[in-house]
Structure 1
Amino acid sequence: MTERVLVVEDNDLNRKLFCDLLRANGFAVEPVADGVDFVERAAAFDPQLVVMDIQLPNVSGISLIEALRADARLCHVPVLAVTAYAGKGDEERIRAAGAEGYLSKPVSIHPFMSAVNALLDRRAAA
């Protein structure tokens, strides 16, 4: 079965890059440009992983992670936060909201794919 990754990223170039990388590595991908109807879209896609930008228009990625954690259908899905927030305490705050992985932008290909695979491997082992 092909693993499914939901990519929440408002920047068109970043979203395309993440989706293209994931597809090239055999993943089914659902791109999302904003947080509107995020929980319902995530539930309909049933992802094994969510790649979440934190700085989104109209809603914080942290709020979306918290909504994911509060939904019984999705609370088990690991989240990789990918963000320009790289200040002191940001990673801790993002992880406290429920993100299992954290990468600061700009993101290189190898660390991104390593983080994706590590979270999926950890989920499969659980």
Structure 2
Amino acid sequence: MGSNRKSPKVKSGEASPQHTKLKRLLVVEDNNLNRLMLDDYLVFCGYQVLSLACGAKFFEELAAFQPHLILLDLKLPDIDGYSILEQLQNDSQWQNIPVIIVSAFAFKADSQRALNLGARQYFIKPVNLNDLSQAISQELNKWSN
């Protein structure tokens, strides 16, 4: 039933040299089921994934993992996702990493605020995984050019 394929998923703070050619995605999602679903789907799509359940070690993990793209929930238990966006935009080292928001905040003002703070795209939960995958590919292609 199970696959013997090695997963490019990594543990917090750990690099995975055998998968260095894969695009690295940092997922910040506090809901365990949503995080696991995103992890599994993104690994299946061929990405190396590091996921965090909160923002406490976000910048530490960002520096260690060096992601090509960030998927960010706005409502986290310890920090506001908007604060993370703002800090990313104020740091020249990180401001060009594409950020896609995946949030339950459905109001236009929420999405506009996130986009004004530098998010590239905004998805409202529950998210269509095919649409999200296309958005990730689109942003990675823009970023690598």
Which runs of no fewer than 5 residues in structure 2 stay unpaired?
A: 1-20
Specify the alignment match of 1:52 in structure 2. 72
Runs of 4+ in 1 over 3 A off after TM superposition: none
Specify the alignment match of 1:35 in structure 2. 55
Specify the alignment match of 1:100 in structure 2. 120
Inter-partner Cα distance in structure 2 for 1:88 and 1:23: 31
Measure how far apart 1:98 and its partner are.
1.1
Determine if the alignment matches structure 1 residue 20 to structure 2 residue 40: yes
> How much is the aligned-residue C-alpha RMSD, in angstroms?
1.0
Which runs of no fewer than 5 residues in structure 1 stay unpaired?
A: none
TM-score by length of 2: 0.82
Inter-partner Cα distance in structure 2 for 1:18 and 1:113: 10
Q: Contact (CA 8 Å) 1:39, 1:68: kept in 2 or not? A: no
Inter-partner Cα distance in structure 2 for 1:9 and 1:88: 21
Determine if the alignment matches structure 1 residue 109 to structure 2 residue 126: no
Determine if the alignment matches structure 1 residue 67 to structure 2 residue 87: yes
Aligned pairs, number = 125
1 or 2, which has the higher helix percentage?
1
Specify the alignment match of 2:108 in structure 1. 88
Tell me which amino acid in the other structure corresponds to 1:73: Q
TM-score by length of 1: 0.94
Inter-partner Cα distance in structure 2 for 1:103 and 1:109: 10
Tell me which amino acid in the other structure corresponds to 2:43: R
